[in-house]
Amino acid sequence: MSAIRLDLHNFTRDELRALFGRWGFSPVHAARLWNYLYLALADSFAAMPELPEKVRTRLSQETRIGSLPVAREADSSDGFTRKYLLTLADGEAVETVLMRFTGRVTACVSSQVGCAMGCVFCATGQMGYTRHLSPGEIVAQAVHVARALRLAREPHRLRNVVLMGMGEPLHNYDAVMHAIDILRDEAGLALGAERITLSTVGVVPGILRLAREKRPLNLAVSLHAATQAGRAALVPVATKWPLDELMAACRTYSETTGRRIFYEWTLIEGKNDSAEDARAVGELLRGLPAQVNLIPLNPTHGYAGTPTHSAAAKIFQHILASEFKLPSTVRQRRGLDIAAGCGQLAIAG
């Protein structure tokens, strides 16, 4: 059996330099390779002519560029959204979404194949958990979107990454943070910390670790209900990390880092979209640096709920603002016709 080749997208710039040092190659060549990977967005060693032949030979023998072949792609009729089903080296697959907004492009990337959290309205949760992604598999999704933009000669380069695709990022903490370090490298894709958002269903140990490490990124926490019973009915993991423990962790995070948290609330008609629900959210978040992201439910095959009407969403938003001075936004619904919306990503179908 041949040895497993190293995925170059797993390496930070320092780690790549150290690898070349062990091989007896100049750090100049490591820097050149890094530029090929993240500035030229090269997808083969043949596309790296400035590397000496001996370097390219060693690389081709022992490493690989973790480009992810496209198994399927679809463009939404909204004209702003494209979804990719990307194949991993072991035959598994993940979905990644390219989203265009005014003046910017965002990549929604996955952190796991499937998800173990089991949120009842989420297609990824419905498919179950298969495995974690490596740092390189996370990075390669962003590189794929950046390369697609360049090939299409689009006017905007990749500016934002949201870890809101398949999987729970804080369940795969080390790989996700390693990937973020690579994505933020100023000599590479150079994504600013303020342009990276991580969404968690409420993995309390991960939130507390983020607080201790004071990592500069945007944190979004999925609430969906303001009582323990209501939340546990939608988010089964709430039985492991109850609402009071989650809110204590969020308070610690904000006090330690000085950063606000984006609290996500999926609006489900008749379940959590009433005026009373809005006031319960306001009370729950009172005194915390917070913004509420209101997300009308996106349909999935495994959940029978329906999205709230826009009038109810506006009332909900008005109560948060007028009675609690809480800023909020209603999430733009994108890519629903290709199942690219929040909570719709899965590899079946």
pLDDT in tens, 223-245: 999 999 999 999 999 999 999 99
Please report the domains of the chain, with CATH numbers, ordered by start residue: 6-64 (1.10.150.530), 70-338 (3.20.20.70)
Q: What is the mean pLDDT of the chain?
A: 92
User: Between residues 304 and 35, which one has the greater pLDDT?
Assistant: 35
What are the tens digits of pLDDT across the range 135-162? 999 999 999 999 999 998 888 899 999 9
Confidence class of residue 298 from pLDDT cuts 50, 70 and 90? confident
From the list 104, 100, 217, the residue with the least C-alpha distance to 170 is 217
What are the tens digits of pLDDT across the range 235-282? 999 999 999 999 999 999 999 999 999 999 999 999 999 999 999 999
Residue 181 above 70 pLDDT? yes
Cα gap 15→23, rounded to integer Å? 13
Mean pLDDT for 161-190 is 97
Confidence class of residue 1 from pLDDT cuts 50, 70 and 90? very low
Percent of the chain clearing pLDDT 70 (strictly above): 94
The torsion angles phi and psi of 198, rounded to 5 degrees, stand at -110, 130
Identify whether the C-beta of residue 144 lies closer than 8 Å to the C-beta of residue 96: yes
Cα gap 331→322, rounded to integer Å? 20
N-term to C-term CA, the chain: 34
Residue 336 above 70 pLDDT? no
Residue 190 above 80 pLDDT? yes
What is the reported pLDDT for 122?
A: 84
Residue 62 above 60 pLDDT? yes
What is the reported pLDDT for 346?
A: 63
What are the tens digits of pLDDT across the range 305-317? 888 888 999 999 9
Identify whether the C-beta of residue 298 lies closer than 8 Å to the C-beta of residue 336: yes
Mean pLDDT for 83-110 is 93
What is the reported pLDDT for 79?
A: 86
Residue 2 above 70 pLDDT? no
Q: What is the 3-state secondary structure (H, E, C) of the chain?
A: CCCCCEEHHHCCHHHHHHHHHHCCCCHHHHHHHHHHHHCCCCCCHHHCCCCCHHHHHHHHHHEECCCCCEEEEEECCCCCEEEEEEECCCCCEEEEEEEEECCEEEEECCCEEECCCCCCCCHHHHHCEEEECCHHHHHHHHHHHHHHHHHCCCCCCEEEEEECCCCCHHHHHHHHHHHHHHHHCCCCCCCCHHHEEEEECCCHHHHHHHHHHCCCCEEEEECCCCCHHHHHHHCHHHHCCCHHHHHHHHHHHHHHHCCCEEEEEEEECCCCCCHHHHHHHHHHCCCCCEEEEEEECCCECCECCCECCHHHHHHHHHHHHHHHCCCEEECCCCCHHHCCCCCCCCCCC
Percent of the chain clearing pLDDT 90 (strictly above): 80
Q: Which residues form the catalytic set?
A: 95, 342
* Residue 51 in tokens: 């590397």
